[in-house]
Amino acid sequence: MTSKNLAKTLLRIVQSPPDQVEFTKSAALMEFATTTGIGILKGSRIQFGEKHKDRIRSLLRADNIDPDTPLDAWATLGRAESLAIGPDEKWAGEAVRAHRIAFKALRGKPLLVGDTPIYLPPRSNLEWRCIDAIQSLRHDAVIVIENWEVFERVDDLQLDMTRVSTNPLILWRGGTSNASVGAAMRFIEEFERPVWSAPDYDPEGLAIAARLPHLAGVLAPPDDVLRQLLKASRLHARYSQQLPGAQPTLEQASHPDVQRLWTLVRASGKALPQERLCVQV
């Protein structure tokens, strides 16, 4: 079976102009030419004339791939749809999971899903389509965790979450094809519950918090503790790198928690990752 990357390379060849006969000799294309006897090796290039291209078209059809398939055809398809234009449902693009969110409850608390509370094992989470989560979850508040490592270890995070809710939903802000930032933002926008941010204490982290829909507050250590942690931090460069992009948002922020924390971070000129607030286990 042709691999997805090789198939895209072969499609690029057969869809090229008739007068284009030379192509870069990648390892995969070299193996293809050697195995099939199609193409002429010439230095760092491989030549595919029109007869070679016809043979490639026949091989693609044998793998259930239309030679006229656009190169980006798999980018937005789901697994079932991808079978209609190729031999393997795993060729589906990452967008198939782009509408999912990752969430959990705090240790000892249930996820409130429909009429059936769910208790997850330690350091596990549930991944679900955003639209289904909006319709089914019954938590009365959301805590947005910026970093995956802290999301996994949220029960070790040294922040007072009792003022948020007796059982808040813990939501990862997203950042991969498995759970996207866009899906998380859509969820908290349409879920319409109070949102609390657990950010990095740096310009970018506070700017992200300031932009969250339905922001009720920003979780942080007591001011004196945060000052000491920032004083001990060595992350001057991280602060400086983030400042130009985040400063306009922070200077216009109206939420008092963001304003207060930005004053502390700006005075220190340093960054503090939220991982520093997780106890060692």
Question: What structural domains and CATH numbers belong to the chain?
Answer: 4-95 (no CATH), 98-277 (3.40.1360)
Mean pLDDT of the chain: 85
Q: Which residue has the tokens 């899906």?
A: 183
Distance CA 51, CA 39 (A): 9
Contact indicator for 170, 147 with CB cutoff of 8 Å: no
pLDDT of 73 = 58
Q: Is 105 exposed, middle or buried (0-12, 13-18, 19+ CB in 10 A)?
A: buried
pLDDT at 149 exceeding the cut of 80: yes
Spatial contact of 104 and 170, defined as CB atoms under 8 Å apart: yes
Of residues 83 and 195, more confidence is placed in: 195
Residue 55 has pLDDT above 60, yes or no: yes
Q: What is the mean pLDDT of residues 167-177?
A: 83
Residue 257 and residue 218 in contact, taking contact as beta carbons nearer than 8 Å: yes
Radius of gyration of the chain (CA): 26
d(CA 21, CA 164): 65
Q: How confident is the model at residue 270 (pLDDT cuts 50, 70, 90)?
A: very high
% of the chain surpassing 90 pLDDT: 51
| The pLDDT of residue 176 | 56
CA distances to 20, 92, 95, 166, 273 from 185, in Å: 46, 24, 16, 23, 21
> What backbone torsions phi and psi does residue 235 show, to the nearest 5 degrees?
-90, 60
pLDDT of residue 123: 87
pLDDT at 82: 47
- The 3 state secondary structure assigned to 123-186 is CCCEEEEHHHHHHHECCCCEEEECCHHHHHCHHHECCCCCCCCCCCEEEECCCCCCCCHHHHHH
Taking the C-alpha atoms of residue 24 and residue 151, their distance in angstroms, rounded to an integer, is 44
* Distance separating alpha carbons of residues 235 and 273, to the nearest angstrom: 9
So what's the pLDDT on residue 60? 83
111 touches 118 (CB < 8 A): yes
Break the chain down into helix, strand, coil percent, rounded to 5.
45, 15, 40
Q: Is the pLDDT of residue 108 over 60?
A: yes
Beta-sheet pairing, 126-129 with 100-104: antiparallel
Can you read off the two tokens belonging to residue 43?
């230095």
CB neighbourhood size of 48 (10 A) = 24
pLDDT for 280: 61
